[in-house]
């Protein structure tokens, strides 16, 4: 059958089969996942992989326990191990419940111990996803719908080019049993409304509607990939150590600047902002004067802001612990975590950093800034206030407030990003301790 051949060919091209990978099938017990399980069992006769399955029990239907039992018996017949995960999804209505259940399902699958996760999405699912994203006003990323191979999350969709009718015909021909989720008929959910009310009307006029919509999603995905490549090229010029140079960003055409800015936020783990939000952030960044400092809410729930300082855009993560006093002793660890989540790293290097023999058995003390500290990292220059040294180094004010200082007894020995006390620096003959403060790219 074509589906069996397609799944076998897909796997042989999509993943390395040596060493033996472990594949995890998301098994709902519906016709799509039952067909994929059957095809995988056939493919396993000629391909080298381990197969297991997971059934996510949402508890949203009175039949949920029966479905879990059906999945267990079906997998037992195929000699495939099955893990049933019970999740509590907050009940609501419409898209809220639909999205919550989907998110919970993905989280469970991604947390499993597997090399790849197999999903039974098919061509009609892809067409419906594109339509829904169009109606939500999504950008290219959203309109790309689903990828047959999602390398970031190790997701595989071998049936994505197969229409629903062909999957159902395969199931009947192979005399498979499956379950029907009654919620799939409930048109209060957007996807079901699209499936039962919109797509039949489209197909009555355009017979190949599902195939052509899925093909359009593939074209859009290619365009989105090209825009990511363009953003990576622009990032080489506009990003410096993870920070966005606002002047260089503004020199790009507006669409190109938006593309780079959106890509930058995504690379830092943020969801793409709405068009209006993106326009507002870019406008504030670009029209501010050269010396202006701005602060724009980026993620209210996590207290994260977009900041500008000395011509660069930063992402500032506020922490409740940020104001906590730092009082720590270094006892030889490779790293220490500060109250705000930032880290100090301690590396031993010949001829660099703080001369270890100067410690003389004393412990290094890490403390917060108190104000009024003076420091002399350069023997040829006078002792200066730490405030002026930090300003000269262009350290943003919100980082200066959190800066950990390293003392040897009562002497300020090391100021991260500034240097080592000139009287304590390692010479080329000394073993040194290099201390770095990692604030991460979102600091």
> Is 30 annotated in some ligand binding site?
yes
Tokens for 51, please give them: 């197969």
What range does the domain containing 12 cover?
2-219
Lowest mean pLDDT among 17-31, 91-105, 119-133, 378-392: 91-105
Of 23-32, 74-83, 156-165, 272-281, least confident by mean pLDDT is: 272-281
Residue 32 annotated as lining a ligand binding site: yes
Q: Is the peptide bond before 333 cis (omega within 30 degrees of 0)?
A: no
Entry field: residues in the chain:
443
State the average pLDDT for the chain.
Answer: 88
- CA dist 106 and 89 (Å) reads 13
For 92, phi and psi rounded to 5 degrees? -150, -140
| pLDDT tens digits along 119-149 | 999 999 999 999 999 998 888 888 988 999 9
Q: Are residues 250 and 190 in the same domain?
A: no
The per-residue DSSP string of 374-401 comes to: EE---TTS--EEHHHHHHHTT--HHHHT
32, pLDDT greater than 50: yes
Residues 245-261, mean pLDDT to the nearest whole number: 94
Lowest mean pLDDT segment, chosen from 186-200, 210-224, 355-369, 410-424? 355-369
Say if residue 185 is in the same domain as residue 327.
no
Domains held by the chain: number: 3
CATH number for the domain harbouring residue 248 = 3.30.465
Q: Cβ of 19: how many Cβ atoms within 10 Å?
A: 7
Q: What percent of the chain has pLDDT over 70?
A: 93
Output 208 or 270, whichever has higher pLDDT.
Answer: 208
325: DSSP letter: P
Examine residue 234 and state whether it is found in any structural domain, yes or no.
no
Tell me how many degrees the CA angle 17-19-21 measures, rounded to the nearest 5: 60
Q: Which of 14-23, 226-235, 269-278 has the highest mean pLDDT?
A: 226-235
Q: Binding residue per annotation — 33?
A: yes
Share of the chain above pLDDT 90, in %: 59
Residue ending a domain, among 184, 219, 254, is 219
**In whole angstroms, what is the distance from residue 334 CA to residue 317 CA?**
24
25: in domain: yes
pLDDT at 161: 93
Task: Write out pLDDT tens, residues 347-366.
Answer: 999 999 999 887 877 889 99
Is the four-CA dihedral 304, 308, 314, 320 of positive or negative sign?
negative
User: Does residue 263 sit in the same domain as residue 309?
Assistant: yes
Per-residue model confidence (pLDDT) at position 182: 86
46 domain residue, yes or no: yes
* Nearby residues of 311 by Cβ (< 8 Å), 6 or more positions away: 245, 246, 247, 290
How far apart (Å, rounded) are the C-alpha atoms in residues 226 and 401? Answer: 41
Range 233-260 average pLDDT: 93
Question: Are both 398 and 331 inside the same structural domain?
Answer: yes
From 250, 282, 317, the end of a domain falls on 317
pLDDT at residue 310, as a whole number:
81
Q: Could you tell me if residue 232 is inside a domain?
A: no
* H and E: helices and strands count for the chain: 15, 22
Residues 282 and 327 in one domain: no
Rama region for 102: left / alpha / beta (φ>0; ψ in -120 to 50; rest): alpha
Would 383 be classed as within a structural domain?
A: yes
Pairing of strands 81-86, 50-57: parallel
Q: Are residues 120 and 30 in the same domain?
A: yes
Q: What is the distance of C-alpha 231 from the center of its chain? A: 17
- Encode pLDDT of 312-350 as tens digits: 888 876 654 455 688 899 988 999 998 888 899 999 999
Residue 345's DSSP bridge partners are 335, 436
Contact 115, 154 (CB under 8 A): yes
| Final residue belonging to a domain, choices 256, 283, 317 | 317
Confirm or deny that 419 is annotated as ligand binding: no
Claim to verify: residue 213 and residue 345 sit in the same structural domain: no
The predicted pLDDT at position 362 comes to 82
Separation CA 76–CA 68 (nearest Å): 12
Within-domain flag for 170: yes
114 and 80 housed in the same domain: yes
242 annotated among ligand-binding-site residues: no
pLDDT confidence bin for 290, thresholds 50/70/90: low
**Which long-range contacts link 330-339 to residues 24+ away (Cβ below 8 Å)?**
330/363, 330/364, 330/365, 330/366, 330/406, 331/363, 336/366, 338/366, 338/402, 338/404
Q: Which pTM was predicted?
A: 0.74
- Would you place residue 94 in the very low, low, confident or very high pLDDT band (cuts 50, 70, 90)? very low
The better pLDDT of the pair 210, 271 is held by 210
Residue with tokens 């016709």: 31
Backbone angles phi, psi at 408, to 5 degrees: -110, 110
432 annotated as ligand-binding: no
Is there a single domain that holds both residue 142 and residue 12? yes
The stretch 411-433 carries a mean pLDDT of: 92
**Spatial distance between the Cα atoms of 37 and 17, rounded to a whole number of angstroms:** 18
Say if 138 falls within a structural domain.
yes
Q: What is the pLDDT of residue 442?
A: 47
Domain shared by 75 and 173, yes or no: yes
CATH number for 32: 3.40.50.620
């Amino acid at each position: 059958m074509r589906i069996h051949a397609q799944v076998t060919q897909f796997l042989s091209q999509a993943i390395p089969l040596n060493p033996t990978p472990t594949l995890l099938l998301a098994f709902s017990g519906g016709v799509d996942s039952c067909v994929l399980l059957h095809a995988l069992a056939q493919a396993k006769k000629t391909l080298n992989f381990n197969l297991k399955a997971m059934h996510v029990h949402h508890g949203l239907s009175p039949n949920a326990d029966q479905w879990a039992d059906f999945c267990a018996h079906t997998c037992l017949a195929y000699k495939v191990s099955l893990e049933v995960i019970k999740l509590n999804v907050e009940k609501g209505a419409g898209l809220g419940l639909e999205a919550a259940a989907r998110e919970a399902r993905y989280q469970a699958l991604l947390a499993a111990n597997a090399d790849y996760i197999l999903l039974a999405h098919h061509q009609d699912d892809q067409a419906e996803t594109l339509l829904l994203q169009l109606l939500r006003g999504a950008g290219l990323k959203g309109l790309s719908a689903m990828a047959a191979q999602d390398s970031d999350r190790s997701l595989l969709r071998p049936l994505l080019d197969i229409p629903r009718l062909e999957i159902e015909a395969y199931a009947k021909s192979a005399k498979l049993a499956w379950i029907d989720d009654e919620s799939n008929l409930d048109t209060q959910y957007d996807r079901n409304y699209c499936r039962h009310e919109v797509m039949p009307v489209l197909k009555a006029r355009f017979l190949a509607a599902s195939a052509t919509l899925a093909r359009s999603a593939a074209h859009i995905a290619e365009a989105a990939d090209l825009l990511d490549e363009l953003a990576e090229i622009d990032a080489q010029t506009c990003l410096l150590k993870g920070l966005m140079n606002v002047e260089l960003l503004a020199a790009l055409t507006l669409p190109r600047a938006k593309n780079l800015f959106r890509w930058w936020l995504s690379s830092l783990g943020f969801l793409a902002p709405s068009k209006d939000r993106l326009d507002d952030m870019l406008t504030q960044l670009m029209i501010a004067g050269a010396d202006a400092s701005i602060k724009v809410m980026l993620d209210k729930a996590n207290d994260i802001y977009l900041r500008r300082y000395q011509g660069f855009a930063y992402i500032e993560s506020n922490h409740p612990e940020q104001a906590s006093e730092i009082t720590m002793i270094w006892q030889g660890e490779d790293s220490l975590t500060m109250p705000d989540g930032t880290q100090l790293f301690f590396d031993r290097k010949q001829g660099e950093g703080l001369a270890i023999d100067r410690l003389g058995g004393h412990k290094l003390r890490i403390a917060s800034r108190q104000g009024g500290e003076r420091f002399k990292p350069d023997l040829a220059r006078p002792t200066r206030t730490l405030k002026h040294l930090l300003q000269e180094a262009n350290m943003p004010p919100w980082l200066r407030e959190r800066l950990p200082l390293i003392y040897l007894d009562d002497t300020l020995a090391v100021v991260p990003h500034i240097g080592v006390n000139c009287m304590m620096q390692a010479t080329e003959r000394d073993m040194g301790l290099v201390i770095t403060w990692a604030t991460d790219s979102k600091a």
